[in-house]
Structure 1
Amino acid sequence: MSEPTRLPVLFLDDPVVLPGMVVPVELDDAARAAIDAARTSADGRLLVAPRLDDRYPAYGVVATIVQVGRLATGAPAAVLEARTRAHLGAGVSGPGTALWVEAEIVAADEPTDAVRASAAEYKTLVLALLQRREAWQAIDSVTKLTDPSALADTAGYASWLTDVQKRELLETPDVATRLATLIRWTTDHLAEMEVTDKIAGDVREGMEKTQKDFLLRQQLAAIRKELGETEPDGADDYRARVESADLPDAVRSAALREVERLERSSDQSPETGWIRTWLDTVLGLPWATTTEDTTDLVAARVVLDADHHGLDDVKDRIVEYLAVRARRASRGLSVVGGRGSGAVMVLAGPPGVGKTSLGESVARALGRRFVRVALGGVRDEAEIRGHRRTYVGAMPGRLVRAIAEAGSMNPVVLLDEIDKVGSDHRGDPAAALLEVLDPAQNHTFRDHYLDLDLDLSDVVFLATANVVEQIPAALIDRMELVTVDGYTEDDKVAIARDHLLPRQLDRAAMTDDDVRFTEAALRRIAAEYTREPGVRQVERLVAKTLRKIAAAETGPITVDADDLTGYLGRPRFTPEAHERTEVPGVATGLAVTGLGGDVLFVEASSTGTEPGLTLTGQLGDVMKESAQIALSYVRAHAEQLGVDPAALDRTIHVHVPAGAVPKDGPSAGVTLVTALVSMATGRPVRSDVGMTGEVSLNGRVLPIGGVKQKLLAAQRAGLSTVFVPIRNEPDLDDVPADVLSALDVRPMSDVADIVAAALEPVARAAETPAA
C-alpha cells in the first residue's frame, strides 16, 4: 500500500462500486458536500465506500468526477469513475462540510502465471454467461480486457451477484482469491441457469404439444364429421353402450337423460367429466347379474361344518334360509328380488370367535360372491349413502361399491364392526344403515350419488359386533341377533387341531410329518395359557411354538403338554378362586365384558366405628347402586342371614380388584350380598362357587344377560357350582351340553338361599382364620 492520502468520502447505499466502474450518483446534501470538496481539491478525487449498518467499511474506491449535471428526472447528479481500490483509515479534518478520511491506495501486484490462468478460466465463464444473455456489447468489452484485476472487477456490473457478494469482492484485494471466488459463483450460476432453461424448455415444449394436440383433435373431429364417423368414447358411444346394456327401465331412462346432457355439453365444461363418471359407474353395476344359490342343503351344511366348529345357531339359520328359497323355487315362485326376501343377521360376540371369517363360509355354502365392508371408525353418512354429485370428488357409498366389486346383485355382504360406527357433524352412518338393513325397505335403497333405486332385497347381509348394547336400538330391531358367545375347552382343542394347526403349519412351511401336537398339549394351551372366549391367542401360541421349532430344531418333533414350558414359558392362568376366597368377605361373581365372560372377585371388609360405605375399584353408577341395595338388604335381614347387626354399624369397604378397569352392570348384586354376609359372619365363601344376578331390596334375584358367556367363563376358571336367576333358566338351553355337565347350575329366586348355599358351613368356618 502507498502512503495515506486525505480524501473526502462519499458513502453510498446502492450500488456497490468496484474499480473500473462508471456510475451516476444522485446528489443529496452529504453527496454534494463530498463532490464540492473533491472539485476544490488539487487532484479532484474522492473516496466512494458502501454504507454498512453493522460496521465501518474497510475498503472503498478512489474515484474522479466525470461530469456534474442533472438526471432525466431533473434531480442533481454526478457521474463518477472508479479508479483504484483503497483502504479506509481514520477520519481527519478538511475544508468544507464533507467528511475527510485517510485512505491508503491498494496497488495491484504483478500477475503470476496461476493468476493469468484463473483469469482466462473466469473470462471463459463470463463470456459463456453473456452469450446466453446475448449481451454482445458487453462481450466485446470483456474480450478486450487482459488485466486480471480489471477483469475480476467487471463483476461490479453483474446483475446475478448480490450487494453482499460485491462488497466481499471489494474487500478482497488479493486478485487470486477474488478470481477463485468469482469462478465458484459464476459456475454455480451457470448450472442454475441450465436447470432453469431446461425446465422452461420442458414447459414450453409441453405447452406447444398441448396446443398441437388440441389443433389435431379439432381437425380430426372435423374430418370424422365430414366422413360421418363417430368419435370413440363420445356421447354417441355412451348412447350405444346404454342402449345395448341390460338395464332396468328406470335406470335406462335416467342414463339416456344423462347422455342427452352430455351431447349438449361442451368438451371444455367440467360437467362433462361428471356425467361421464356417473355413466361409467351406472354401466359398471351388475344390474341384471345374479348368482344361482345352491339347493343342496346337506352340501351347504357340510361346507359350514368344514369351515367352522360349533356355531350351530348361525348354521341352522343359513340352512333354513336355503330351505325356504328351494321351496319357493320348487313351487315356481320368485326367489330373486321382491320385498323382504333377503336375510339380515348380526353376529354378536367377543373377538376371536370367527364372526368375520364366517361370512366367507356362508357365501361358499350359498354359492354366492362375498364382499366385506369395514365399518369400524366410519363417521361420515356419505360413506353409506354416497356423496351428492354436486361435490368435487363425489363417489357412491360403500354399499354400491361393494355391489360393483362383487359383480352380482345378490352377494353376501359382511358389515364388519357395526357396533363401532360413530357420528359427528357429517351425519350419522348408523341412521343411514336403517334403510339398508330393513328387509321391508331395502328393495328401494337410494344412493345419493346414483340417485336411483337399488334393489338390495336379495343381498344376504351379515353384520358383526362385539358389544350389542353399542348398536342403536332402531338398527338392531331390523336385524336377527345371533350371539356367538365363545368356545368351550373342548371346542378350542377341536378348532386348534382341525383349523389353526394346519394353517400355521402351512405358514411355517411345515407338514404333519415335521411337527405333531398331542391333544394334551393343545388342551393345556387352551386351559392354562389362554383365558379368552375365542381362539386368537391359541393360534398365536401355536404359531410361536412352530417358530421356535423352526429356529432351533431339526427332524420330526412331537409337542406334548410337558414340552410347552420350554416353548411358551410357564402357564399364565391357573385357578385362583380357592386362594382368593380363603378369607371371609370375598365372593366370586361372573361378568360380561367386550372380550366375553370373565370371573369377578368382590371383597368386603369393615373398619372404624362410624357407619358408612366406601366403594373402590372404578365402579360405575349401576354397581354403586347395587352395593347400596346389597348393604340395605343385609342390614334389613340381618337376623335371617345370621348376621350380628353391630357388625354392620361400622364403615363397610367394598372393593373390586383390577381398579384400572372400569366396571359396571347390575349382575353383581347377589355377589355383593354374599361378600357382605361372609364378612359379617366370618364364614368364607366356597371356592368352587360362582354367582350372577341382580338383587332387589326384598332379596329377589332378578334376571340378567350373558348367561352363556358367564357359564363359559366359570368353566374356564375351574368353578363347579354356579347360581343364576331362576328367570334365566330358559337361557340354559343355549349353553353347550358339555358345559352344563361340567357345572352344577342352580337357578335361584331368593338371595338368602344363595348365601346359605354359598357360605362354608359353620364348623368349617371356625377352622378358617379371620381376615
Structure 2
Amino acid sequence: MFKANPIQLVQEESDDLIQLINPEQDSDIKPEDLPEELSILPIKNTVLFPGVVIPITVGRQKSIKLVKKAYQGNRIIGVIAQKNSQAEEPIIDDLYRTGTVARIIKMLVLPDGNTTIIIQGKNRFTVKEFVQEEPYLTARIALQSEPILNANNKESRALVQSLKDAATKILKLNPEIPQEAQVALDNISSMSFLVHFLSSNLNAEVGDKQKILETQNITDRGTLLLQYMLKDIQMLEIKHEIQKKVHTDIDQQQRDYFLRQQIKVLQDELGYDGPDKEVEKFRRRAETKQWTKQAAEHLNKELDKLLRINPMAAEYPVAMNYVEFMLDLPWAEYTEDDFDLKRARKVLDHDHFGLEKVKNRILEYLAVLKLKQDMKGPILCLYGPPGVGKTSLGRSIAKALQRKYVRMSLGGVHDEAEIRGHRKTYVGAMPGKILQHIKKSQSSNPVFVLDEIDKVKADFRGDPSSALLEVLDPEQNSTFGDNYLEVDYDLSKVLFVATANSLDTIHPALRDRMEIIEITGYTQEEKVEIAVKHLIPKQLKEHGLRASDVKFSKDAINKTINSYTRESGVRSLERKIGTLVRHIAKSVAMEEEYDKVISDETVRKVLGAEVFDEELYQGNDIAGVVTGLAWTQVGGEILFVESSLSRGKGALTISGQLGDVMKESAVAALSYLKSNAEALQIDYRLFQQYDLHIHVPAGAVPKDGPSAGITMFTSLASIYTQRKVKAKLAMTGEITLRGKVLPVGGIKEKILAAKRSGIKEILLSAKNRRDIEEIEKNYLKGLTFHYVDNVEEVLKIALLKDRITVPMKFVLTDQKATA
C-alpha cells in the first residue's frame, strides 16, 4: 500500500493544479470533447485509475511522439496497462481492452533525454478497435459511465469505513509507508475517489488492479479492493509475527557478541584502533609528559579503568574524553621568554602610545624574571574607562615577552563551573574555561587576559568571583584544582592580566589579590598622535586603501576629536575615522574625482552636524551657576550646579536625579551657609522667606558621588549674595559641616574633561596635590590649579566682589513673635 510518494508541483500556473489539490471535485471528460480516434499510451507495471495523479517516464519513441503531439493539443490521451511488462514494444494483443482517459498536466524533459509526464485519470473506457500502430497507437473507444451512487445508504457507508480501517491497519503494520498517507486518507470523502486512490496504491499485481478497473459497479469494485487489502493485511501480520519470533530467539549475549565482532571488522577495515591499541597509544604519549607523581598515578588509574569498560557503554566516551584532556594539557611545558628589554620597550611603544606606568611595570617584571628565573607571574589589573587599550595591551605584552596569548571574557559569567569546571558525575561535564584556554595555548606560561573582570555576576549557581580567588592568588594557584581534572595544576607561571572599567563591583578579596594599574583617558594631543600612528593606518588597511590615497590634515583630526567624540578612549574616534575612510573608498571604487586631503570642512560634510560644542562652559552672567567636575566609567565630564530663589517659606527642593551622597552634600552645604550667613553678609530672613531650588541639569542621567560638595556650596553662596562666579573656573571636592574640603578621586579624568571644555582654572583640595604631581606636565598646559583646605579659601577664589548685571531684589519682612 502507498508505495508512491506524494507529488509536488512548483510554480504550476495552469488550472490543473486545482485538480491536483482536490481531485474529488474533478469533472469527467464529456464524449463530445474526445476525438474520434484517441491516442493510446501503453504503460507497464501499473494501472491508472480515474481521479488519480501519477508520474510516468516515457522512453519509447512512439510514446514520446504521442506525448509531444498531445501536449501541444488538448492534452487528452488514453492509458492502457500492458500485460507483459518485459516486452519493449507491446503488440495489440498484449494490451488490455479497458483503460482510462487521462489529461497530461505537466511534461518535463530530463537532461538524460527521457521525458516525464504527470497525468490525471478521468474516465474509464473500452476499446472498440485499434485503428493504427504508426507513428503511435490510436483506437476508437467507448466511455463507460459511472452509475450514480447513493453515498448515504448503510452499505456504502459501511464499505467506505471498512476500506479506511483496512488502509489504516496496513499503515501501522508497514513502517516504510510515510505517515502523510494517513492524512491524505482522512481527507477523502468521496467513495469513488477513495476506491480509486487505494486501488492505485495497492501492493498487488497489475492483473489484480486491472480486474478492479474493469469491474463496472463501484460497490463491487470497492468490495473486490477490500478482499485484496485483507489479503495484504494477513501477509503483513504473518511477516511481523515471524520477525518478532526471530528477534526473540537471539539472546542479548549473542547480540552483543555479534555487534562487537562487526565493530571489530569495520575498525580493521577502516584502520581504526580498538580499545587496547588506544590505551597503548595513550601510555606512550604519557611517557613524554613531565607529570607530577600525583598526575601520573591518576592517569594510569584512569587508563586501567578504561580497559575494563565496555566500549559500547555510555561511560566509555566520557572516560576517553577525560584521558585525552589530561594528555592535551601542557604539563610543565613553557615557552622561552625573550629578555631583550630594549626590544620589549620598542614593541610596547609601537603598539601603544602613552601608558608609561603600564609599560614600566612590564619592563620591571621582565628585568626581575631575567635575574630570577623562577619568579611567579604577577596578577595585574588594568583599570580604566572603555576604549583606552586595556585588552589590546595584553596582546602587546605577550608579543614583548614572546609568549602565547589567550583571552577569556568574563562579562556575564555567573556560573562557578565556568571557572572551576563540572564534576565528572554530571552529564555533559566539562573542564573550566581556565584550563580549556591553557590547553588551547599549549603552554603553561601564557599571557592570560581576563577581560571585564568587573562584570562577573553571582547567582544561585555560585559566585565566580570566589572561584577566581584561587586562580589569581600567587600563593595558591600553583596547586589550582579543577573539579573536572581532579588533579592539581600549576598556574603560578601564567601572567594574568585582568581588565576592568570600575573597581566598585569587584569582590574586595579578589581586588586585594591584584596589582591595580590605572589607565586614565587620553589628552587631546595623545589622541592626535594615536590617530596618526595607529587608527588611520589601521582603517586604511581594513578598507583596502593605500597611504597615498588619502591624507588627514591636523585640523580634520582635531575637528573629529572635539566635535564628534567626547570620550576618554579612542574607540568612537576610530569609528568616525572609519566613516571618513569609507567616504574616500567609495570615490576610489567608483573612479570619481575626490580631494585626497581630508580637511575640517570634509569632516563636517561627511559626519554631519557637530555632536559636541567646542566649549561647554556657559559663562558667569547668572548667579548660582557653578561648573563642577565629575568622574564616570567612560571618563571625566563637567556638570553644572544651578540654584534659584523664589518667594516662599524656606522650602528646599533638590532635582536632577541625584543620589543620596549628592543630596547629603547639598544639605551639608546649606547648613554651613546658614551657620556662617553673617560672615557672608547674608540676611538670615532670606532662609525663612525664600524657597531654595538646587538643580543639576540632564535630569535623565543618574548622578551621585562625593565630588560636588564645594560646587554646591559655591552655587548657594552666589545665589544668596548675587555675586558673580569666577569665569572659566571648575572645582571638585567634598565639604564637611566644619567647612573642611576633602580630597576626591578621578583627578586626571576630571582635568581632561575640564581641558576639553575650555576651563582655565581648577579648584581642588590641598590633599589632591599629590595626584596632580603624578600627571605628566604636558597634560597640565594651559591650566591653573588652586589648592584649598576650607570653604573660606574656596569663596575667596571662586566668588568675585562684583554682583551680577541684574541682581535679584529681595523683599524681606520682619517676623512677628507669637506667644
Query: Normalising by the residue count of structure 1, what TM-score does the alignment of the two structures yield?
Result: 0.73
Which secondary structure does the structure 1 equivalent of 2:336 belong to?
Answer: coil
Which secondary structure does the structure 1 equivalent of 2:164 belong to?
Answer: coil
Match of 1:659 among 666, 679, 699: 699
- Residue 274 of structure 1 and its aligned partner are, at CA, apart by 1.7
Whether the 8 Å contact between 2:729 and 2:760 is mirrored in structure 1 is yes
Cα distance per residue 1:261-296 (max 9 Å; x no partner)? 112222233222221111111100111321111111
Match of 1:216 among 251, 261, 271: 261
Find the aligned partners of 1:523 and 1:219 in 2 and give their Cα distance: 73
2:783 aligned partner, one-letter code: L
Cα distance per residue 1:288-322 (max 9 Å; x no partner)? 32111111111101100000000001000000000
Which residue number in structure 2 is paired with residue 741 of structure 1? Answer: 781
Matches within 5 A, 1:680-695: 680-695=720-735
Matches within 5 A, 1:81-480: 121-122=48-49, 148-149=146-147, 155=160, 157-159=162-164, 179=192, 183=196, 214-217=259-262, 220=265, 231=275, 234-329=278-373, 334-335=374-375, 341-480=376-515
Find the aligned partners of 2:750 and 2:452 in 1 and give their Cα distance: 23
Which secondary structure does the structure 2 equivalent of 1:396 belong to?
Answer: coil
Cα distance per residue 1:123-181 (max 9 Å; x no partner)? 897999xxxxxxxxxxxxx99x99845999665531267999999988x6xxxxx6457
Matches within 5 A, 1:490-639: 490-552=525-587, 554-555=593-594, 557-579=596-618, 581-639=620-678
Cα distance per residue 1:563-609 (max 9 Å; x no partner)? 32112223222255542643111111111111111111111112232
Which secondary structure does the structure 1 equivalent of 2:461 belong to?
Answer: coil
Query: For residues 643 and 169 of structure 1, do their structure 2 counterparts lie closer, same or farther at Cα, with a shift above 3 Å needed?
Result: closer
Which residue number in structure 1 is paired with residue 686 of structure 2? Answer: 647
Find the aligned partners of 1:164 and 1:695 in 2 and give their Cα distance: 82
Which residue number in structure 1 is paired with residue 719 of structure 2? Answer: 679
Which secondary structure does the structure 1 equivalent of 2:49 belong to?
Answer: helix
Which secondary structure does the structure 2 equivalent of 1:625 belong to?
Answer: helix
Query: For residues 713 and 124 of structure 1, do their structure 2 counterparts lie closer, same or farther at Cα, with a shift above 3 Å needed?
Result: closer
1:750 aligns with 2:790: yes
Which secondary structure does the structure 2 equivalent of 1:603 belong to?
Answer: strand
Which secondary structure does the structure 2 equivalent of 1:268 belong to?
Answer: coil
Find the aligned partners of 1:189 and 1:354 in 2 and give their Cα distance: 75
Whether the 8 Å contact between 2:631 and 2:749 is mirrored in structure 1 is yes
Which residue number in structure 1 is paired with residue 129 of structure 2? Answer: none
Which secondary structure does the structure 1 equivalent of 2:629 belong to?
Answer: strand
- Residue 617 of structure 1 and its aligned partner are, at CA, apart by 0.8
Find the aligned partners of 1:164 and 1:312 in 2 and give their Cα distance: 75
1:697 aligned partner, one-letter code: L
Find the aligned partners of 1:566 and 1:127 in 2 and give their Cα distance: 67
Which secondary structure does the structure 2 equivalent of 1:491 belong to?
Answer: helix
% same residue: 41
Whether the 8 Å contact between 2:378 and 2:474 is mirrored in structure 1 is yes
Which residue number in structure 2 is paired with residue 35 of structure 1? Answer: none
Whether the 8 Å contact between 1:708 and 1:734 is mirrored in structure 2 is no
- Residue 551 of structure 1 and its aligned partner are, at CA, apart by 2.6
Query: For residues 297 and 612 of structure 1, do their structure 2 counterparts lie closer, same or farther at Cα, with a shift above 3 Å needed?
Result: same
- Residue 621 of structure 1 and its aligned partner are, at CA, apart by 0.8
Cα distance per residue 1:26-59 (max 9 Å; x no partner)? xxxxxxxxxxxxxxxxxxxxxxxxxxxxxxxxxx
CA RMSD of aligned residues (A): 3.8
Unaligned runs of 5+ in 2: 1-27, 41-45, 56-97, 100-123, 125-143, 169-181, 204-228, 230-235, 810-819
1:767 aligns with 2:797: no
Query: For residues 165 and 567 of structure 1, do their structure 2 counterparts lie closer, same or farther at Cα, with a shift above 3 Å needed?
Result: closer
Which secondary structure does the structure 2 equivalent of 1:282 belong to?
Answer: helix
Which residue number in structure 2 is paired with residue 131 of structure 1? Answer: none
1:671 aligned partner, one-letter code: T
Whether the 8 Å contact between 1:221 and 1:231 is mirrored in structure 2 is no
Query: For residues 609 and 550 of structure 1, do their structure 2 counterparts lie closer, same or farther at Cα, with a shift above 3 Å needed?
Result: same
Which residue number in structure 2 is paired with residue 16 of structure 1? Answer: none
Query: For residues 245 and 635 of structure 1, do their structure 2 counterparts lie closer, same or farther at Cα, with a shift above 3 Å needed?
Result: same
Whether the 8 Å contact between 1:590 and 1:692 is mirrored in structure 2 is yes
Whether the 8 Å contact between 1:582 and 1:687 is mirrored in structure 2 is no
Which secondary structure does the structure 1 equivalent of 2:347 belong to?
Answer: helix
2:635 aligned partner, one-letter code: G
Query: For residues 110 and 566 of structure 1, do their structure 2 counterparts lie closer, same or farther at Cα, with a shift above 3 Å needed?
Result: closer
2:395 aligned partner, one-letter code: E
Whether the 8 Å contact between 1:577 and 1:688 is mirrored in structure 2 is no
Query: For residues 706 and 217 of structure 1, do their structure 2 counterparts lie closer, same or farther at Cα, with a shift above 3 Å needed?
Result: same
Cα distance per residue 1:751-770 (max 9 Å; x no partner)? 221122112332xx343565
Cα distance per residue 1:482-535 (max 9 Å; x no partner)? 111100000000000000000111112112211100112112221222211111
Find the aligned partners of 2:379 and 2:256 in 1 and give their Cα distance: 56
Query: For residues 291 and 768 of structure 1, do their structure 2 counterparts lie closer, same or farther at Cα, with a shift above 3 Å needed?
Result: farther
1:723 aligned partner, one-letter code: L
Find the aligned partners of 1:713 and 1:633 in 2 and give their Cα distance: 29
Which secondary structure does the structure 2 equivalent of 1:667 belong to?
Answer: coil
1:435 aligned partner, one-letter code: E
Cα distance per residue 1:228-275 (max 9 Å; x no partner)? x97565433333332343323221111111111112222233222221
Whether the 8 Å contact between 1:583 and 1:770 is mirrored in structure 2 is no
Find the aligned partners of 2:408 and 2:474 in 1 and give their Cα distance: 19
Which residue number in structure 2 is paired with residue 484 of structure 1? Answer: 519
1:396 aligned partner, one-letter code: P
Find the aligned partners of 1:169 and 1:709 in 2 and give their Cα distance: 79
- Residue 389 of structure 1 and its aligned partner are, at CA, apart by 0.8
Q: Which moved more, 1:557-566 or 1:650-659?
A: 557-566
Query: For residues 448 and 147 of structure 1, do their structure 2 counterparts lie closer, same or farther at Cα, with a shift above 3 Å needed?
Result: same
2:305 aligned partner, one-letter code: R
Which secondary structure does the structure 2 equivalent of 1:309 belong to?
Answer: coil
2:162 aligned partner, one-letter code: Y
Query: For residues 147 and 578 of structure 1, do their structure 2 counterparts lie closer, same or farther at Cα, with a shift above 3 Å needed?
Result: closer
1:645 aligned partner, one-letter code: Y
Which secondary structure does the structure 2 equivalent of 1:591 belong to?
Answer: strand
2:790 aligned partner, one-letter code: D
Whether the 8 Å contact between 2:275 and 2:311 is mirrored in structure 1 is no
Find the aligned partners of 1:189 and 1:761 in 2 and give their Cα distance: 110
Match of 1:732 among 747, 772, 790: 772
Cα distance per residue 1:61-120 (max 9 Å; x no partner)? xxxxxxxxxxxxxxxxxxxxxxxxxxxxxxxxxxxxxxxxxxxxxxxx999799999x97
Which secondary structure does the structure 2 equivalent of 1:323 belong to?
Answer: helix
- Residue 327 of structure 1 and its aligned partner are, at CA, apart by 1.3
1:365 aligned partner, one-letter code: A
Q: Which moved more, 1:260-269 or 1:458-467?
A: 260-269
Find the aligned partners of 1:243 and 1:581 in 2 and give their Cα distance: 80
Find the aligned partners of 1:157 and 1:114 in 2 and give their Cα distance: 37
